[in-house]
Each structure stands twice: as structure tokens, then as C-alpha cells.
């Protein structure tokens, strides 16, 4: 049941001082709280025996007032330590969670759903934090405090009466344990459902344009109603057990009162107890209600925390699909890239997505990758990112197998413009500086000129400070592509990978960018995948892919002479290009 606390042992030992202070203060408050009932009992005894004086009355009220003030101060300290710790653990865990997500490679994100990950990072971590704060409080109150009250009842009043009154206690513990188990399983289901719902919301919002365009609003609403109903039902199931905790405890506490009062009056009649003692005892019994509730709360909250922490840990336990080896090899000159009989398959694929690829790209060369859609162009380029476990064959950079290169080092050489651009909702400048955080405005402008984005930039009233909107919604497709290009250019990477990065710009702009790339990147390696053959005409070597295999390769001239797929495609594009010219 306390797995969650054990699991967070590192945190408690790190914050040992905080918790020690908190718990000791809580215990001290418990002791102080014992005094007023006893003082009250004594006062009543003196009233009933007629020995009370004005001075004595002043003493009793003064003492009680003083104790209340002390309790006020101490309570502040423990509240501050315990609940402050709960916020701290939430922050630490969330940081760890995020850092973990950033280490993960694409296969992980293909398996997980964003909404569910978000639910874990928010809802579940909150629940763990509550467990740490409120759980610690209830843990202390249901043990230390309960014990203090019990000892006070026994020693100050009567052990006989105390033992009789706590007879129902074990039953509370037993029923709480039973409820706790149910809460755990139901709460896990409820949190899972919440994750599903999050996912659906995310998808609907991201796809709202498509949903509208296809008039699927009703359909989507229905799906959403369905899933919120699911969340509702599962949380209702939790609430049903939740609701049992309190009445059950009240039942047994009521029993305690009956025993305490019945047996207490009996003892008073037999002169084994004074009236004042009975009053004090009943106040102590009242003070036991909270610790008994605390037992229930403790179990309830621990089980929720366990369920949530299990979900968080499940994510944290996932190892990156591609991990650095223990002693990575440092590559002096990451120049030559060689593929030697590389066969690769995505983890979820049933066929080989690259078949027997052998290639040699010398330093400073430009490689063109063409082929029909789905032929494996992106897959081939992405091999260099080493995002997926490698297949058979060997891929070397600078003579070192890619598995032996540290990922950070590998990525420091690469500039990558993916087929789907990802921009962040920041300014144009900051999106570009993403490639090189210390870049000056001149650097940014130079990269923008290389990417032929300068003419567009003039049309933005705020220039570099223009905010591109979420994922770049405020830019056109071609503008997004060129901002992505500039982001890759600015770092002047050793190896530049352009995956269909010019597909959304017109032929003239494309020609300009290609020309810039040729001059700017002379002596550096560039890999270009494209559907438009004009973008690779200048390449030193061109490969044509089909179903993951190289079916033709050579220079532009050689491939034209071979009269294969490349030639045919080239002719077709020439015709359509000249048609375009006539139209425009």
C-alpha cells in the first residue's frame, strides 16, 4: 500500500530535514492539543466539588488561550513543510518526465498517444503530489497522533475505558483495506479513460479544419460524448467507493461513542471515574475521529497515488529504442558516409523498408534521392539520424559504424529539414535561431537569404519578430518550408539533409535556393530527397529508389542516358513545367 512512498524514497531522503521538521511539529501539536480537554475536565471537577476560585478560572482560560496560540504557530510550520514538499516533488517529477520524453526516439511516440502522455504529466503527477503532501499528513495523524490521544486517554483517564472504546478500531482498518483495493483498480481505469479523452480532444482540435470541411462535427461530438461518458462512469465508480469511506468510519466512531458513554457512565456511578474525567474522555474520543478518518483517507490517497505513480513510472521505465553504447567512438572527420548492404525495417512494418542499400557519399558531395512516393526516400535519409534500431548491413560515418557514435555528437553534424515542417509558436527569428542559439541577426539574415525567404520577410510588418502562430499556421506552406531551411542552414552543418524540402516553392524560387546551396555548401555534404528532379540535377550522384531498393543510380546525364524511370520522369516533368510556364 505504501509503494508510492517507498518509490519516492529518494525524494524523502533528499528532503529529510523538511519532513523531519514537519512530522515532529505535527507530533508536538498533537501533544499540545491534549491539554485543553484535560484542563476543562479538571475545571469541571472543581466546579462540581465547589472549590473553583477566580484565580483558578483565570489560570484555566489563560492556559488554554496560550496553547491555542502555540498550536497556531506550529501548525503553520508543518503545513508549510509538508505541502511545500508536495509541490516540490511535483516539479521534480515533471522535470524528469519531460526530460525523459525528450530522450525518447520516434518509435516510442508511435506507440504512445500524446493526450495520454499529457494526462500523465499533469493529472497523474498532481495526484502523486497530493499523496506526498496529504498522504504524509494522514500518515502522521493516523499513527503518531492517534497514539498520542490513546496514551492520553489511558494514562490521564482510564485504560479500561480506553480499551473498550477502541474496540471498533480494527474493523475500521479492515474495511479501509478492502475499499483501498477497489479504489486502486477503479482509479487506474478512470485515469486511463482521462488519458483517452485528452487524446481525443487534442486530435479534434488539431483536426478541426478537416472535421468542418467534411461536416463531421456531429460525428465528432458523438464520439466525444461517448468518451466523456466513459470518463464520467469510471470516475463515478471511484466516487461510489469514495463515498463508503466516511459513513463506514462514522459508523464505527459512533460505536466508540456509545461504548465510551455507556461504560463511562457506569464507571462514574461506581466511583471509578470523576465527572470531569468523563467529559475529558469524551472530548478525547472526539479528537480520535479525525485520526480514524485519517486512516481511511490515508488508504484512499495512497491507492490513488500508487495508481498514478504506476502510470508515470510505466512511461519513465521505457528505455530509448536507440541508446548510446557505453564507450562511443569520437569521430574526427565526419566526412565520408557509406552504406554497406543496409537492410532496414520499421518496428511496426511487416516488410523491409530498405533493401540492400550500398552507397558511398564522399566529403563535400551532394546526393540526390528520387523515386515514386512511398519508395523509401525519407527512410533512407533518416538512417543518418539513427532514430530507429539499425537493421543489418553497415552504415558508417567517417569510417565509424553509426551505432558506435554518440547521438549528441552525431546530431551536432546534421542539419535536417524534415518532410513535414515543425515550427514553434515563436517569432521567425527564434525559429531560425533554434539551429544555433547564439546566432546574431546578421547570421539569421544570411540564412534567410540562402533560403530565399528575404523577399517574403519584407511583406511581414514585423519582420523577424513576426510570430508564426502555433505550428506556423500564420505562414504559407512554402514560407514554412523556407523558415525550416533557414533553420538548418544557420548552423552550417557538416551534413545537410533536405527531405523534399522544396516541394512547396515555385520553380523559380527552387532554382534560386538550389543555386545558393551549391555556392554556400561547396565542400560540405548535402543529401536531397525530392519529387522534382530539377532539384537534384546538379547532384554528384543520384539514386532512384523503388520499394526500398536502388533501381537506378548515376549522375543526371548518366541516368538520362539509361532511359529508365528517371528519364521517363524527367521528360514528363519537362512537359508539365513548360505548360506551367505558358500558363503563368
Could you give the string, one character per residue 100-129, with x where binding to ligand ATP holds by CB under 6 A and - elsewhere?
----------x-------------------
Instruction: Tell me the three state secondary structure of residue 212.
Output: helix
Q: Which stretch binds ligand ATP (CB under 6 A): 77-85, 276-284, 374-382, 517-525?
A: 374-382
Residue 378 interacts with Mg ion (CB under 5 A): yes or no: yes
Choose the one of Mg ion, ligand ATP, none that binds residue 158, judging by a C-beta under 5 to 8 angstroms depending on kind.
none
Residue 375 binding partner per list Mg ion, ligand ATP, none, with a CB distance cut-off of 5 to 8 Å that depends on partner kind: ligand ATP
CB of 120 to ligand ATP, least distance (A): 23
84 binds, among Mg ion, ligand ATP, none (CB under 5 to 8 A by kind): none
Q: In what order do the strands lie in the sheet with 495-499?
A: 414-417, 495-499, 525-529, 366-371, 541-546, 549-554
Least distance in Å: CB of 378 to ligand ATP? Answer: 3
Q: Which DSSP state fits 466?
A: -
Whose grid coordinates read 490517497? 301
> 248 or 503, CB closer to Mg ion?
503
Which CB atom, from 184 or from 480, has the smaller least distance to ligand ATP?
480
CB distance 528 to 522 below 8 Å: no
Q: Which three cell numbers stand for residue 108?
A: 516510442
Interface size with Mg ion, residues (CB under 5 A): 3
d(CA 262, CA 256): 10
Residues 163 and 168: their CA atoms lie apart, in Å, by 10
Q: Which of 187, 245, 344, 346 binds ligand ATP (CB under 6 A)?
A: 346
Which is nearest to 376 in space by CA: 237, 188, 549? 549
DSSP string spanning 123-161?
IIHHHHHHHHHHHHHHHHIIIIIHHHHHHHIIIII-HHH
Q: Which one of the spans 205-213, 343-351, 394-402, 475-483 is the region binding ligand ATP (CB under 6 A)?
A: 343-351
Binding-residue total with ligand ATP (CB under 6 A): 15
- The reply on whether position 419 binds ligand ATP by CB under 6 A is yes
Pick one of 84, 243, 254, 374: the residue that binds ligand ATP (CB under 6 A): 374
**Contacts to ligand ATP from residues 354-373, by CB under 6 A:** 371, 373
User: φ, ψ for residue 55 (rounded to 5)?
Assistant: -60, -45
Any contact of residue 396 with Mg ion (CB under 5 A)? no
Is residue 544 within 8 Å of residue 370, measured between CB atoms? yes
Q: Which is nearer to ligand ATP, 349 or 440 (CB)?
A: 349
Q: What are phi and psi of 416, to 5 degrees?
A: -135, 120
CB of 530 to Mg ion, least distance (A): 10
Q: Which three cell numbers stand for residue 501?
A: 524540402
Q: Which does 413 bind (CB under 5 to 8 A by kind): Mg ion, ligand ATP, none?
A: none
Q: How far is the CB of 370 from ligand ATP (least distance, A)?
A: 9
Cα separation, 290 vs 253, in Å, equals: 10
Question: In sequence order, what are the residues at sequence separation of 6 or more whose Cβ sits closer than 8 angstroms to the Cβ of residue 498?
Answer: 417, 485, 488, 526, 527, 528, 529, 530
Q: Under a CB-based contact definition with an 8 Å cutoff, are residues 430 and 438 in contact?
A: no
- 281: part of which helix (H) or strand (E)? helix 275-316
Closest contact distance (angstroms) between CB of 535 and ligand ATP is 13
- Whichever of 419 and 549 has its CB closer to Mg ion, that residue is 419
Q: How far is CA 297 from the centre of its chain?
A: 27
The closest alpha carbon to 125, from 161, 86, 153, belongs to: 86
375 sits near ligand ATP (criterion: CB under 6 A): yes
Nearer to Mg ion, 378 or 425 (CB): 378
Residue 503 binding Mg ion, by CB under 5 A: no
| Minimum distance of ligand ATP from residue 391's CB (angstroms) | 13
Distances (CA, A) of 148 to 288, 413, 566: 10, 66, 87
Report the relative pairing of strands 541-546 and 366-371 from DSSP bridges.
parallel
Nearer to Mg ion, 75 or 419 (CB): 419
Phi and psi torsions of 346, nearest 5°: -65, 150
353 binds ligand ATP (CB under 6 A): yes
CA dihedral sign of residues 501, 505, 507, 513: negative
Where are the alpha helices (H) located in 337-406, listed in sequence order? 377-382
Shortest Å distance, C-beta 357 to ligand ATP: 12
For the chain, the first-to-last Cα distance in angstroms comes to 73
For the chain, how are helix, strand and coil distributed in percent, rounded to 5?
65, 10, 25
E strand or H helix that includes residue 200: helix 169-206
Q: Which stretch binds Mg ion (CB under 5 A): 24-32, 118-126, 147-155, 377-385?
A: 377-385
Query: Is the CB of 254 or the CB of 374 nearer to ligand ATP?
Result: 374
Asked if 377 touches ligand ATP (CB under 6 A), the answer is: yes
> Which residue, 503 or 534, has its beta carbon nearer to Mg ion?
503
What is the rounded distance in angstroms from the CA atom of residue 38 to the CA atom of residue 322? 67
Q: What region does 349 belong to: left with phi over 0, alpha with psi -120 to 50, or beta?
A: beta
Instruction: Dig out the grid coordinates for 255 from the structure.
Output: 460505536
- 349's contact among Mg ion, ligand ATP, none, with CB below 5 to 8 A by partner kind, is ligand ATP
The one segment of 97-105, 257-265, 346-354, 476-484 that binds ligand ATP by CB under 6 A: 346-354
CB-nearer residue toward ligand ATP: 101 or 275: 101
- Residue 472 CB, shortest distance to ligand ATP, in Å, is 19
Tell me which stretch binds ligand ATP (CB under 6 A): 279-287, 347-355, 485-493, 533-541.
347-355
CB 431 within 8 Å of CB 381:
no
105 binds, among ligand ATP, Mg ion, none (CB under 5 to 8 A by kind): none
Q: Least distance in Å: CB of 320 to ligand ATP?
A: 16
Specify whether the CB–CB gap between 570 and 368 falls below 8 A. Answer: no
Q: Minimum CB separation from Mg ion for residue 386, in Å? A: 18
51 binds, among Mg ion, ligand ATP, none (CB under 5 to 8 A by kind): none
Q: Which residues bind ligand ATP (CB under 6 A)?
A: 110, 346, 348-349, 353, 371, 373-379, 419, 500
Q: Which residues bind Mg ion (CB under 5 A)?
A: 377-378, 419
Amino acid at each position: 500500500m505504501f509503494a508510492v512512498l517507498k518509490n519516492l524514497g529518494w525524494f524523502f531522503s533528499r528532503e529529510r530535514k523538511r519532513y523531519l521538521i514537519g512530522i515532529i511539529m505535527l507530533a508536538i501539536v498533537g501533544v499540545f492539543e491534549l491539554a485543553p480537554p484535560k484542563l476543562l475536565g479538571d475545571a469541571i471537577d472543581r466546579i462540581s466539588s465547589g472549590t473553583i476560585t477566580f484565580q483558578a478560572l483565570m489560570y484555566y482560560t489563560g492556559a488554554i488561550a496560550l496553547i491555542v496560540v502555540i498550536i497556531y504557530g506550529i501548525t503553520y510550520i508543518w503545513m508549510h513543510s509538508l505541502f511545500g514538499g508536495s509541490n516540490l516533488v511535483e516539479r521534480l517529477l515533471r522535470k524528469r518526465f519531460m526530460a525523459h520524453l525528450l530522450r525518447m526516439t520516434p518509435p516510442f511516440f508511435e506507440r504512445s498517444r500524446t493526450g495520454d502522455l499529457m494526462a500523465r504529466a499533469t493529472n497523474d503527477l498532481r495526484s502523486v503530489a497530493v499523496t506526498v503532501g496529504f498522504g504524509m499528513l494522514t500518515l502522521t495523524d493516523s499513527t503518531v497522533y492517534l497514539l498520542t490521544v490513546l496514551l492520553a486517554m489511558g494514562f490521564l483517564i482510564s485504560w479500561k475505558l480506553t480499551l473498550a472504546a477502541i474496540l471498533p478500531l480494527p474493523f475500521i482498518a479492515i474495511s479501509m483495506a478492502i475499499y483501498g483495493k477497489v479504489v486502486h483498480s477503479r482509479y487506474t481505469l478512470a485515469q486511463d479513460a482521462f488519458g483517452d479523452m485528452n487524446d481525443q480532444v487534442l486530435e479534434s482540435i488539431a483536426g478541426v479544419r478537416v472535421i468542418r470541411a467534411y461536416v463531421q462535427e456531429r460525428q465528432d461530438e458523438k464520439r466525444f460524448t461517448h468518451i466523456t461518458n466513459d470518463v464520467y462512469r469510471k470516475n463515478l465508480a471511484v466516487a461510489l467507493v469514495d463515498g463508503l469511506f466516511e459513513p463506514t468510519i462514522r459508523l464505527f466512531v459512533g460505536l466508540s461513542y456509545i461504548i465510551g458513554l455507556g461504560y463511562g457512565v457506569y464507571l462514574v456511578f461506581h466511583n471509578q471515574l470523576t465527572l470531569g474525567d468523563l467529559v475529558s474522555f469524551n472530548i478525547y474520543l472526539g479528537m480520535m475521529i479525525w485520526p480514524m478518518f485519517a486512516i481511511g483517507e490515508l488508504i484512499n490517497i495512497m491507492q490513488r497515488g500508487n495508481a498514478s505513480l504506476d502510470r508515470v513510472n510505466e512511461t519513465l521505465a521505457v528505455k530509448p529504442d536507440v541508446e548510446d553504447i557505453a564507450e562511443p567512438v569520437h569521430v574526427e572527420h565526419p566526412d565520408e558516409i557509406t552504406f554497406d548492404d543496409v537492410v532496414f525495417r520499421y518496428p511496426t512494418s511487416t516488410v523491409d523498408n530498405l533493401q540492400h542499400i550500398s552507397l558511398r557519399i564522399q566529403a563535400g558531395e551532394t546526393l540526390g534521392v528520387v523515386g515514386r512516393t512511398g519508395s523509401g526516400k525519407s527512410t533512407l535519409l533518416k538512417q543518418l539520424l539513427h532514430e530507429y534500431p539499425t537493421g543489418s548491413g553497415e552504415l558508417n560515418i567517417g569510417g565509424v559504424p553509426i551505432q558506435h557514435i554518440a547521438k549528441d555528437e552525431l546530431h551536432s553534424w546534421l542539419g535536417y529539414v524534415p518532410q513535414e515542417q515543425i515550427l514553434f509558436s515563436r517569432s521567425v527569428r527564434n525559429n531560425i535561431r533554434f539551429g544555433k542559439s547564439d546566432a546574431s541577426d546578421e547570421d539569421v539574415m544570411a540564412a534567410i537569404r540562402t533560403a530565399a525567404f528575404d523577399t517574403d520577410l519584407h511583406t511581414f510588418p514585423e519582420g523577424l519578430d513576426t510570430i508564426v502562430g502555433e505550428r506556423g499556421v500564420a505562414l504559407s506552406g512554402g514560407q514554412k518550408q523556407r523558415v525550416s531551411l533557414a533553420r538548418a542552414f544557420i548552423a552550417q552543418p557538416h551534413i545537410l539533409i533536405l527531405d523534399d524540402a522544396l516541394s512547396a516553392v515555385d520553380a523559380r524560387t527552387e532554382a534560386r535556393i538550389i543555386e545558393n546551396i551549391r555556392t554556400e555548401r561547396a565542400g560540405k555534404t548535402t543529401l536531397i530527397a525530392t519529387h522534382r528532379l530539377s532539384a537534384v540535377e546538379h547532384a554528384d550522384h543520384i539514386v532512384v529508389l523503388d520499394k526500398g531498393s536502388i533501381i537506378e543510380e548515376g549522375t543526371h546525364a548518366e541516368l538520362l542516358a539509361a532511359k529508365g524511370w528517371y528519364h521517363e520522369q524527367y521528360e514528363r516533368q519537362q512537359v508539365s513545367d513548360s505548360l506551367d510556364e505558358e500558363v503563368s
